[in-house]
Amino acid sequence: MNIKVCGITQMKQLQQLDGLNIDFAGFIFHKDSPRYVGDKISKDELQSADFDVKKVGVFVNATYDEIIDTVEDYGLDIVQLHGDETPELCEQLLEDVEVIKAFSISDDDEMSIDEMIADYDEVCDYYLFDTKAGDAIGGTGVKFDWKKIAKSKIEKPFFLSGGISVDDIAKIKAFKHPDYFGIDVNSKFEKSPGVKDMALLLQLKQGLKSK
% of the chain exceeding 90 in pLDDT: 88
Structural domains in the chain (count): 1
pLDDT one-digit tens code per residue, 70-116: 999 999 999 999 999 999 999 999 999 999 999 999 878 888 999 99
pLDDT at 135: 55
Fill in the DSSP letter of residue 135: T
Cα(192)–Cα(176) distance, rounded to whole angstroms?
Answer: 32
CATH number (domain holding residue 108):
3.20.20.70
pTM over 0.85: yes
pLDDT one-digit tens code per residue, 119-174: 999 999 999 999 986 555 555 567 889 999 998 999 999 999 999 999 999 999 99
The range of the structural domain enclosing residue 154 comes to 2-209
pLDDT at 15: 98
pLDDT at 170: 96
pLDDT over threshold 90, residue 32: yes
pLDDT at 133: 66
Judge whether 38 and 193 are in contact, CB under 8 Å: no
Query: 24, exposed or middle or buried, with CB in 10 Å at 0-12, 13-18, 19+?
Result: buried
